[in-house]
């Protein structure tokens, strides 16, 4: 079918005719072949004689000689020779021909020939421009009639319509985003049962914005809506609207919503809407922007929906802060659904979804994997499962093991192991002390997360790493916890200074993170008693100017000096704490380094054995920035669950529980 349709195209037949004409012209104009010789050889032959015929071709600057008998020219015996001469000696060559003719050394004719192009070639050259114009005209006509034009349909939408034949993704394939699924379930019900809501006077939402970090499942949720809704679903990327031609984006927006309205109820999904939905008027020149025209048309289309039309726009972005306020107002995006990184239960559900159908050894506990992956997005967890399957196949094993899962987590966090990187014994020892310093400081600090693993195996850009994992998901941090994080970050640097008496470049990333955290504590979170609860500096990036050009300092030079001083004080406080821990437990640090040099990786059990005598340090530098505000001496109120826990603990310790104080049960 496709071959028959191909040969029906007039363009194909025209090309075939032109090629045939060229081939025929070459066949008809091809003459006998001549052996090419130097001009001096041809002139010498004219002097010798024995020539039957001579042809002097003026245009090609060649002299063709037909001999009566074959002669040897180099390694070739032939009776036809040809020489090409320079234009300047053409007259001299012709005089030699005339002289040979008059001396009867040429028995046949001696002609001059001015060759002309083949009639077919001349016809082809003359008709080629006309043929190209005809081809171009036929092409435009076929495009106009066929409707699939890429030339004339610049303004047509590039949206892909998801049909029933497309492999479906359903809400059952989505895990770890229960709130978002619940909201989108309601959208699905709006489309399938609009009368139920219209009877109560409710209006169908016009737009739903999914926003959150990359890899959290925004596009997956949209695909699930497409698989569940049972209505036409149009999918397009924000970048598909914008072209180099002015007005194309707005035209595509109009065409997209015309298609959706014609097939209502329908869903339109725009992925990465920040490509067209950024703040208007943010360009450097301040002039009109093609993006702005596209955004204006999008705003008009969203606000012009028929309330009973059943067309809903779903959009996804990981930069909601740069979207135009007019796009986010109610009446356009009525619902804004955050899609964040999953919590513990969400990670468990995601791992079960991606682990479905994959063989695991009996000792594999996906819940333990979820506990080891705080902060991982859905895409990260999917990558962990996939990497573990690939590692298992690489080892020719038939089931995924705990070791494969552990290795895949390390690969996602720090990159693949650099087996070809060879370090000297001295560098390996420095790395062991560096990582041991991190681990020992984290083990001794009261607010640091528990140490899960210490390794000196090189991965990615790092020579080793220490992995600490919180026991539960945390969404806020206290000042004391952040100071402990600073001390943990500087533990490696402190160990280098203590043992080797000078720092190395290995602490560069640690210092960068510690500096960022200290600056945030002072300028964003108001954790300096000297500077108070004031935010210093602008944190929002201009949508077109970039991170640095859009930043402005809104404080004086003297305040900047105070900020630097407070940052230095925090860093020094944490650095001193790490130093004191390492000095106090130097023997523990040395034991840890010896085992690291031998095993290369230490587990939680190894750390517990090595650090058995390490005692948790008291909290560092309590906050005293209250000024005249005196904190309350009363403890926080206890919840019923906390009271029951205290009672159970007291009973276990053999303590009787008596009367109550002003806000909690008293323990006597």
Do the beta carbons of residue 368 and residue 498 sit within 8 Å? no
Tell me the mean pLDDT in the region 88-101: 80
Say which CATH number the domain at 184 has.
3.40.50.300
Whether 235 maps to a domain, the answer reads yes
Query: Measured between alpha carbons, how far is 268 from 259 in angstroms, rounded to an integer?
Result: 10
* Same-domain status, 311 and 379: no
How confident is the model at residue 147, as a pLDDT? 46
Q: What is the chain's mean pLDDT, rounded?
A: 80
User: For 386-408, how does the pLDDT look when each residue is reduced to its tens digit (9 = 90+)?
Assistant: 999 999 999 898 999 988 998 89
Residue 362, annotated as binding a ligand = no
Query: Do residues 459 and 564 share a domain?
Result: yes
Q: With 80 as the cut, is the pLDDT of residue 145 above it?
A: no
Token pair 């305040």: residue: 559
* Cβ-contact 586, 505 below 8 angstroms: no
Q: What confidence category does residue 572 fall into, taking pLDDT thresholds of 50, 70 and 90?
A: very high
Any binding-site annotation on 288?
no
Which spans in 330-374 are helix H? 344-355, 366-371
Q: What is the mean predicted confidence (pLDDT) over 186-194?
A: 81
> Which of 6-15, 229-238, 578-587, 622-631 has the lowest average pLDDT?
6-15
Do residue 206 and residue 187 come from a single domain?
A: yes
584 and 526 both lie in a single domain: yes
Report how far apart, in Å, the C-alpha atoms of 558 and of each of 414, 515, 551, 554, 567 are. Answer: 40, 20, 19, 12, 14
Judge whether residue 590 has pLDDT over 90: yes
Average pLDDT of the residues in 260-288: 74
Q: Is the pLDDT of residue 509 over 70?
A: yes
Q: Is position 657 within any domain? A: no
What is the length of the chain? 668
Domain count along the chain: 4
* Whether 385 and 516 share a structural domain: no
Residues assigned a catalytic role? 435
Residue 473 is labelled as binding a ligand:
no
- For 295, residues 6+ apart whose C-beta sits below 8 A from its C-beta are 276, 277, 278, 280, 324, 327
For residue 665, tell me if it sits in a domain: no
Question: Is there a binding annotation on residue 219?
Answer: yes
In a domain, residue 72? The reply is yes
Between 317-321, 546-550, 625-629, the lowest mean confidence (pLDDT) is in 546-550
Q: Is residue 659 part of a domain?
A: no
Q: What's 110's domain CATH number?
A: 3.30.720.210
Domain co-membership, 260 together with 229: yes
Same domain, 478 and 596: yes
The CATH number assigned to the domain holding 487 equals 1.20.58.760
Claim to verify: residue 596 and residue 464 sit in the same structural domain:
yes
pLDDT recorded at residue 661: 43
The verdict on 602 and 472 lying in the same domain is yes
How far is it, in rounded angstroms, from Cα 448 to Cα 581?
Answer: 14
pLDDT at 665: 43
**Domain around 314:** 164-280+289-338
Supply 16's token pair.
């075939």
DSSP annotation of 107: -
The answer to whether 510 is a known ligand-binding residue is yes
147 is in an annotated binding site: no
485 in the same domain as 562: yes
Q: Are residues 203 and 312 in the same domain?
A: yes
Minimum mean pLDDT range among 86-90, 470-474, 605-609: 86-90
Whole-angstrom distance, CA of residue 275 vs CA of residue 239 = 6
User: Any known ligand binding at 277?
Assistant: no
Range picked from 212-226, 329-343, 465-479, 573-587 for highest mean pLDDT = 573-587
In this prediction, residue 545 has a pLDDT band, given cuts at 50, 70 and 90, of very low
Structure tokens at 136: 């171009």
Asked whether residue 464 falls in the same domain as residue 591, the answer is yes
Q: State the pLDDT at residue 176.
A: 84
Say yes or no to pLDDT of 152 above 60: no
């Amino acid at each position: 079918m496709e071959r028959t349709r191909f040969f029906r195209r007039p363009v194909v037949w025209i090309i075939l005719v032109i090629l045939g004409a060229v081939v025929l012209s070459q066949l008809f104009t091809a003459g006998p072949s001549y052996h090419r010789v130097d001009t001096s050889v041809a002139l010498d032959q004219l002097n010798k004689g024995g020539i039957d015929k001579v042809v002097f071709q003026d245009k090609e600057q060649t002299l063709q000689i037909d001999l009566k008998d074959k002669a040897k020219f180099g390694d070739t015996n032939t009776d036809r020779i040809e020489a090409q001469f320079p234009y300047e000696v053409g007259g001299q060559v012709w005089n030699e021909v005339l002289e040979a003719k008059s001396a009867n050394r040429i028995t046949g004719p001696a002609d001059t020939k001015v060759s002309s192009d083949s009639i077919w070639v001349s016809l082809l050259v003359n008709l080629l421009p006309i043929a190209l114009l005809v081809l171009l005209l036929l092409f435009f006509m076929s495009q106009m009639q066929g409707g699939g034009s890429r030339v004339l349909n610049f303004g047509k939408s590039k949206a892909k319509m998801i049909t029933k034949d497309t492999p479906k993704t359903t809400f059952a394939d989505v895990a770890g985003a229960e709130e978002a699924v619940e909201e989108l379930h309601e959208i699905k019900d709006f489309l399938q049962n609009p009368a139920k809501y219209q009877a109560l006077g409710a209006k169908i939402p016009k737009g739903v914005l999914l926003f959150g970090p990359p890899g959290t499942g925004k596009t997956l949720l949209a695909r699930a809506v497409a698989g569940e809704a049972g209505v036409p679903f149009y999918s397009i990327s924000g970048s598909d609207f914008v072209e180099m031609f002015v007005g194309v984006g707005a035209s595509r927006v109009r065409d997209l919503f015309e298609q959706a309205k014609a097939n209502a109820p329908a869903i339109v999904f725009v992925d990465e809407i920040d490509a067209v939905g950024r703040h208007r008027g943010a360009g450097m020149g301040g002039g009109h922007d093609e993006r702005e025209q596209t955004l204006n048309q999008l705003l008009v289309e969203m606000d012009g929906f028929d309330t009973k039309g059943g067309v809903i726009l779903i959009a996804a972005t990981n930069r909601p802060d740069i979207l135009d306020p007019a796009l986010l107002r109610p009446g356009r995006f009525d619902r804004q659904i955050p899609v964040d990184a999953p919590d513990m239960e969400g990670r468990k559900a995601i791992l079960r979804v991606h682990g479905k159908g994959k063989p695991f050894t009996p000792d594999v506990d996906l819940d333990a994997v979820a506990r080891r992956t705080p902060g991982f997005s859905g895409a990260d967890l999917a990558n962990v499962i996939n990497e573990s399957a690939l590692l298992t196949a690489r080892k020719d094993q038939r089931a995924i093991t705990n070791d494969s899962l552990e290795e895949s987590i390390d690969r996602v966090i720090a990159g693949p192991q650099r087996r070809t990187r060879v370090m000297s014994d001295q560098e390996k020892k420095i790395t062991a002390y560096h990582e041991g310093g991190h681990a020992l400081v984290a083990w001794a600090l009261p607010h640091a997360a528990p140490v899960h693993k210490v390794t000196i195996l090189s991965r990615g850009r790092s020579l080793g790493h220490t992995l600490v994992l919180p026991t539960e998901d945390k969404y806020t941090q206290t000042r004391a916890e952040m100071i402990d994080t600073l001390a943990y970050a500087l533990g490696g640097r402190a160990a280098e200074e203590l043992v080797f008496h000078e720092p190395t470049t290995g602490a560069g990333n640690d210092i960068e993170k510690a500096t960022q955290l200290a600056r945030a504590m002072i300028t964003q979170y108001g954790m300096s008693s000297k500077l108070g609860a004031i935010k210093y500096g602008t944190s929002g990036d201009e949508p077109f100017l970039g991170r640095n050009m859009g930043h402005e300092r809104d404080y004086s030079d003297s305040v900047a000096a105070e900020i630097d001083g407070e940052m230095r004080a925090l860093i020094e406080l944490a650095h001193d704490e790490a130093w004191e821990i390492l000095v106090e437990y130097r023997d523990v640090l040395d034991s840890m380094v010896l085992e690291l040099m031998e095993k290369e990786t230490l587990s939680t059990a190894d750390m517990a054995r090595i650090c058995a005598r390490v005692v948790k340090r008291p909290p560092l530098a309590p906050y005293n920035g209250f000024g005249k505000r005196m904190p309350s001496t009363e403890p926080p109120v206890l919840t019923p669950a906390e009271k029951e826990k205290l009672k159970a603990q007291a009973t276990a310790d053999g303590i009787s529980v008596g009367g109550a104080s002003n806000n909690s049960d008293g323990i006597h």
